[in-house]
Structure 1
Amino acid sequence: MVLTSHPDEDAVGDEGLIESTDDPWIQRLNILWDMCFEQREPPTEDKVIQVNMGDESSPKPIFIAEDLSSSEKEDLISLIREYIDVFAWNYEDMSGLDPKVAMHRLNIDPDAKPVKQQQRRFRPEIMESIESEVKKLIDSGFVKEEQHPDWVANIVPVPKKNGKVQICIDFRDLNAACPKDEFPLPITDVMIDNTCGYERMSFMDGFSG
């Protein structure tokens, strides 16, 4: 979720974001700035409360708005309980798709030489977190051990705010061996322009990404 900021009245006057100029790009930027914040109130952060849909041994926390009425909270919690199996609370809850329905294969250049990256070493406390996360992935069937792989990519541990470690993979060598996508990536300027006139922009995110 992205909250677009509200301009400071002391920082920006009626001149717009940038001083008056004949540059058409700057003029367009000033117009967009005025459109974004015309008759807008500063965004406020909604207060939420945590509700455990599970038990102490298997917590399933959700967050709902604090300013809902008692009946609205009860109705919302009741609705979530009715469809509790729709949500993924851990890796085991995500069974995946049947390979008969869809299967992903890497389009690797047949002339590309496989790369086995040299093993990296991590601090003991980081290694413990990595082993714990990899065990979860193996137990849930997300990954499996390969005895004689042609390609070997190192793990890149990324610390989270909650103290845990997110497991990423250094796929640079593998990416170099795959053809580039023909479609262009989103243009940053266009994405920023699309936020004008809105207080919030929502994104769909993965379960553990």
Structure 2
Amino acid sequence: ATRYPEAVALANIQADTVADALLRVFTRVGFPREILSDQGTQFTAELTQQLWRLCGVKALHSAPYHPQTNGLCERFNGTLKQLLRAFVHERKDWEQYLPHLLFAYREVPQESTGYSPFELLYGRQVRGPLDLVRSQWEGEQEEDGVPVVSYVLKLRERLTELAGLVRENVEAAQTQQKTWYDRAACSRSFCVGQRVLVLKPQRQNKLQAAWQGPYTVVTRLGDTTYVVASCANTRIQRTYHVNMLKAFHERPETVEAICAPAGEETEPFPLVELPGVTKQPSGVDQVQLGEALGSEKQAQVRQLLRGYSEVFSALPGYTDQAVHPVDTPGQRPLRQPAYRLPEAVRETMRTEIREMLELGVIEPSASPWASPVVLVPKKDGTTRFCVDYRRVNDCTTTDAYPMPRVDELLDQIAGGHF
């Protein structure tokens, strides 16, 4: 309520060490009815849970990887780290200066409340270092003491007045923060039993996250919190915020392998018999023209296309204007066994190879490198012929060409009219 922070320097974050530090704080402010923390082991250990039961404290835990649940604490952690970084530099005795930094933070007005945490807690302005310097410069005389009853009455009135002003300032700040957050927020909900994906940090790098799963929604704790279980092991259940979840859509298997069972790499499966290569027409006649063009204009376009048949074509072709080298330094030739060939795609595979040979896109080769082929159906009913080059890509030295910047491209076309 007052934004008055407490911070204790610890040598470790074991459960017993954290419990002792919390007890030192409770001896000054009393035992709370509820305490909010993340799901760290120091807060979920049996020792800490027993302390909560003995002290009559209800433990509340934030959702994993969702620091917005206890945003006040997390935001103060970032501010305190910045203060330590700017104050101690390379000194290792930073814990000795922690009380001084906390004093500086408590005497500064807080943005949401409009008052300093010290004033909201004690009902008076704190006498800080600047006040000491000012009193010495101005030579002010200290005020005489006031009676206890008069002081208590004024203090109560002051706290009541501050509480009303703070409530208005906090409501205005919360409204503004909610407005900014809702600009990019959308309402989402999941049903019990629905399969979802969870955004979790990767094991190799905690700073990188990836969608993992699928998981199954077990319980809905609230509008934004769900308990999910792994489909592989339903006994493992975790609580996640809705921002970390998205619906899982199971897609049908669309990739069909097109070669025979994998055998010994020294005895490759023989290729299917291929037809002879014939010269394919230029493909100018297959270029589709807009229906809005009249017959006269279509004839003019056809004449233009035939005049530049080496440029325009509806068929893919082969260029001799550029060569792309694939650099695999020190890598022995990779010869992967072929994938299994389902009967349903045999004829499609033969047709694709026949068309590419006729177009001159591919040619027979006796290279020691070999990668398997897959066929991927497209939305229009045709088939995309693909080669699995993943193992080759792993040992390939990539080109260091810079990617174009979008803002520079927009600047180049800024003066255009079309």
TM-score (norm 2): 0.26
Greater share of residues in helix = 2
Q: Which has the larger radius of gyration?
A: 2
Q: Identify which of structures 1 and 2 has the higher relative contact order when contacts are C-alpha pairs closer than 8 Å and 6+ apart.
A: 1
TM-score (norm 1): 0.49
